[in-house]
Amino acid sequence: MASLISSYGIVKSSSGKLCYEQEGNKDGPAVLFIHGLGGTTNTYQPLVSSLQDFHLVRFDWAGHGRSSVPQKTSIDSYVEDAEGKCQSTKAIPEPCQQMAAVIKYFDLKDATVVEHSLGCLVAMTLAAKQASLLSRLILYGPVKSLPQAGRDGAKGRAENVRKGGMATMADTVIGNAFAAGTLKDRPKTVAFGRELLCRQDAEGYALVFLALAESKDPDWSAIKAQTTIISGSEDKVSTPALCKIIAEFLGHTTVNLVTFEGVGHWHTLENSSESEKVLKNAVKS
């Protein structure tokens, strides 16, 4: 089984048109999925068939996947835009804008928010600003704001993708994101990751790099959600050391730190079975 989508639609927001998908048991525990840079709702496709007891909601960031490309964006805008109002199309009415609005629209009580990479920074920012909207965070490969060298590098990558398109960027990202064993022995997984990247709009991808370059850390002390942090032993983006630092920043709340052996930065693609187990355990805890 792939998915059992019960509703989907395009929602008009200040960021443009956002694509949403909903499936699973509406009476079950609520789970909202947030993908990372270069991802889409399909970042979590390897997990959803075994999670149908939960109420599952996924969406594409503005500028990613099937959502439209905004003129400008920032990490804060992903949160701040969510507090506004919008007009909808298809079956999803107002008010609806990115994260907070999705939680409010679907009335996701006691929501668990599952994030990957840069999506973790967005979700942690929301968790710090509106703690009452969610109770659990599951962070696959979280990141924090960059030092100056990293900010300059992010701006450079935005410029490169604008000049050369996604094809020039995809193989570099793939080589850095996957573990060595994945690159060698799992060509289908690598092909899926490459397809996610190559199907992105170059401008939408560049805008997120610029948002990352200007990002700030959340107010760690304001985050109250029970948190699970997942790293990969070969993760070059969100290293086990970085995950430990983030766990220490969140030490005032309940934190579970997990490391997948032989996994790089795309945990849900490289080890979907363990990703599923960690998610289920966190939601049920």
> pLDDT-derived band of residue 253, with 50, 70 and 90 as boundaries?
confident
* Beta strands per DSSP E along 74-204: 112-116, 136-140
| Per-residue pLDDT at 54 exceeds 80 | yes
Spatial separation of the C-alpha atoms in residues 172 and 169, rounded to whole Å: 6
Query: Per-domain residue ranges for the chain?
Result: 5-146+218-284
Interval 171-181 mean pLDDT: 96
- CATH 3.30.420.110 assigned to domain 5-146+218-284? The reply is no
Range from 64-68, 150-154, 188-192 carrying the lowest mean pLDDT: 64-68
Do the strands 30-34 and 55-59 form a parallel or antiparallel pair, or are they unpaired? Answer: parallel
Looking at every residue in the chain, the average pLDDT score rounds to 87
What mean pLDDT comes out for the span 13-36?
Answer: 87
Please indicate whether residue 276 or residue 129 has the higher confidence score (pLDDT): 276
Tokens of 226: 């029970």
Q: Which helix (H) or strand (E) holds 80?
A: helix 75-80
Report residue 134 as tokens.
Answer: 């969610």
